[in-house]
Structure 1
Amino acid sequence: MRLTERYPEVNLEKLLESFVPPPRFQGATFATYHPDPRYPSQALAKERLRSWVRDRPRGLLRPRMPGPQGIYLDGGFGVGKTHLLVAAYWEAPGPKAFLTFEELTYALGLMGLKEGARRFSGLRYLFIDEFELDDPGNAQMATHFLALTMDKGLRVATTSNTPPGALGEGRFNADQFRHQIQGLARRFAVERIEGEDYRHREAKGLPRPWGEEELLRRFHEDPRPKTLDAFPELLAHLRALHPIRYRYLFVGVEVVYLRGLEPIPDQNDALRFVHFVDQVYNLGLELKASGAPLEALFPETYRHGAFAKKYGRALSRLAELLG
């Protein structure tokens, strides 16, 4: 079975219903989030988010929700922001949706901004993981979307990342977030979450992909539902699909095998592969690969450019998947 032979369709009528926490985070609750005592901001963010999602309308004639309409969790890679966001989703009353910022922009691109805002305005809560601050165009589109939906009463919780190199230096993204969302900033309370990446991976410690023969031997011995694709062919296939379809490539699949990882010279291909990795990771699938070392996949200019956070996240997740 090959992913390159799959061309999944998207049903707009059911798309909103599909935006739920991915399988990898099914066990993420407030009870299973254990703050690091060395970083008090983790426990504080947990309690404030839990209080926010448990808010109920006050007042008789014109009931209003107490506290901020939105919550923004600001922190580095691997400090538990997504865990807390999912925990809040489970406790929030419906209708509600959970999706990544990329999925939101892709969904709005598919539906159109006004139609997307109309559909999402029917929700009570929206949880957006990884709000991207490195693409002003998408950030402004999301700002317009949030203005349209929050005016209808939608409550929003979102996360974003601080680059690992900036941790401990006070350079969080709160000011940049406030600038991007401009007039909506007053509706959001910012919660900083400090800490260390629980994955504890550095570039020099990235796991090595298998050799070609080892990969093929493991593939043929693996009894589980699986796919096997050549890396260049996969990249070509991803170009032909709208990114919102990537999540549907893996229906019935437990393990993804990729042959011949190699440096990705085109930035658009690289960003598509980052989104592909996000889907594999979030769905809780296993990934096996042969070919070039992980640190060679994304050119240095990419990893220190405008989308550095995306590539940092992808390498962190690839390290966990292949480790």
Structure 2
Amino acid sequence: MSGLLARYEKLVAANELRPDADQRAAAVRLDKLQKELEADEPGGLLGQFFARRKETPQGVYMWGGVGRGKSMLMDLFVATLGIKRKRRVHFHAFMLEVDALLREERERETEGPVRRVAKRIAENVRCLAFDEMVVTNTADAAIMGRLFTALIVDEGVTVVTTSNRPPSDLYKDGLNRSLFLPFIDLVEAEMDVVSLNGPTDYRLDRLGDIETWHTPIGDEATAQVREAFFRLTDYAPEDAEHVPSGELDLGGGRTLFVPKSLKGVAVFSFKRLCAENRGAADYLSIALEYHTIIVVAIPCMGPENRNEAIRFTKLIDALYENGVKLFATAEAEPEELYQRGDGAFEFDRTVSRLKEMQSADYMALGHGRVS
């Protein structure tokens, strides 16, 4: 098996990947980690001289905007890593597993349940690879410092992860964030932070000719936004039933259930977002958390849907002002959604924004404020 760097350079030479300085620097660092882990494996170079590992190789934290190649490099790293005790897992699924293990340990009245859970995980894992670390859950944030200290420092597990955010921005403005700060300190002490934040969003290439607005509502429209979701998240379509959901903290003790939430992409129904009583602050929370939103079943609205139309306007304002990409299934084109009723004239601005959000220039913007 050739190492990651050799495999990466072959892909560039074959024009399957474009030359990218940030990607190559990350590939060099991951290749170095591979060699350290493989030399440290029983039967490896160091294993021939020492009965047990002397120290844990420094992990890697790769962060950057959407489509910069983080998941691709993680795929190459895991595929070419020549050790048996390796595991690749989505961070959300891993923390759900940790929650279940903690419940088991607490039911046994075991002292130090977090420490015990770390020991159980480490029994079969030498290198733990996460795709897309994001922290929105207060309970997870509170235990992550202790959990990963036990995994990395006590159990010698090497962690490699990707994220859209630098470590210092994880769980930013989260409730009781002070409980999370030891985890940030741990990442900065025990992992090399590598930035992949170049100007090119390669994931847009993978969308190909998929449009963003699909009408009328039906199987064909659903299939198109479904395909966009899987291309944007790298999630296997055959495992669609297990796409993780999420809980978005709206502040004030309120949360929003997100039916599908992965890698900064969220799927909502129009009914969930606009038929329920929501305000501009809720939509801003969504826009700050997700770089792409898929909204399904947007109806045509009339005077009886005045409230829904107003909420939809606020939603689009928040998405537009933060450069969020929108994919949608709708009963009609934007200009036909709300032609009669209070505020129909003002809705023209929403129509204009929806049209602009379909443009190549808008799709090329980074996640953040447009102006």
Mapped contact 2:90–2:131 kept (Cα < 8 A)? yes
Pairs within 5 Å for 1:61-76 = 61=50, 64=53, 68-76=57-65
2:70 to 81, 86, 89: 81
SS for the counterpart of 2:201 is coil
Structure-2 change in CA distance of 1:66 and 1:296 (3 Å): farther
Q: Does 1:96 align with 2:76?
A: no
Q: Does 1:50 align with 2:50?
A: no
TM-score (norm 2): 0.49
Distance in 2, Cα, partners of 1:189 & 1:71: 5
Mapped contact 1:101–1:131 kept (Cα < 8 A)? yes
Q: Deviations over 1:256-275 (max 9, x none)?
A: xxxxxxxxx99532x23325
One-letter code aligned to 1:121: A
1:250 to 241, 253, 261: 241
Distance in 2, Cα, partners of 1:67 & 1:276: 28
Q: Does 1:186 align with 2:189?
A: yes
Pairs within 5 Å for 1:157-236 = 157-162=160-165, 173-176=166-169, 179=181, 180-195=183-198, 196-200=200-204, 207-212=212-217, 215-216=218-219
Mark the structure with the bigger radius of gyration. 2
1:272 to 254, 259, 274: 259
SS for the counterpart of 2:188 is helix
One-letter code aligned to 1:207: T
Pairs within 5 Å for 1:30-49 = 30=8, 31-32=10-11, 36-37=18-19, 39-49=20-30
Distance in 2, Cα, partners of 1:149 & 1:82: 23
SS for the counterpart of 2:99 is helix
| Bigger relative contact order (CA 8 A; separation at least 6) | 1
Q: Deviations over 1:171-226 (max 9, x none)?
A: xx14346944324531111111122322349xxx96113313xx25889xx9xxxx
One-letter code aligned to 1:308: L
SS for the counterpart of 1:78 is coil
Structure-2 change in CA distance of 1:155 and 1:276 (3 Å): closer
List alignment gaps of at least 5 residues for structure 2. 1-6, 41-45, 103-112, 171-179, 227-237, 243-249, 295-323, 330-357, 359-371
Does 148-157 or 129-138 show the bigger shift?
129-138
Mapped contact 1:117–1:145 kept (Cα < 8 A)? yes
Mapped contact 2:64–2:163 kept (Cα < 8 A)? yes
One-letter code aligned to 2:131: D
Distance in 2, Cα, partners of 1:78 & 1:110: 32
Q: Does 1:154 align with 2:157?
A: yes
Mapped contact 2:90–2:132 kept (Cα < 8 A)? yes
Structure-2 change in CA distance of 1:279 and 1:300 (3 Å): closer
Q: Does 1:117 align with 2:118?
A: yes
Mapped contact 2:264–2:291 kept (Cα < 8 A)? no
Mapped contact 2:167–2:184 kept (Cα < 8 A)? no
2:144 to 139, 142, 145: 142
Structure-2 change in CA distance of 1:277 and 1:156 (3 Å): closer
- Following superposition, the deviation at residue 119 of structure 1 comes to 2.9
* Identical aligned residues as a percent: 18
List alignment gaps of at least 5 residues for structure 1. 1-28, 163-172, 228-246, 252-264, 281-288
One-letter code aligned to 2:121: F
SS for the counterpart of 1:127 is strand
Distance in 1, Cα, partners of 2:256 & 2:136: 15
Structure-2 change in CA distance of 1:75 and 1:145 (3 Å): same
Mapped contact 2:167–2:188 kept (Cα < 8 A)? no
- Following superposition, the deviation at residue 75 of structure 1 comes to 0.8
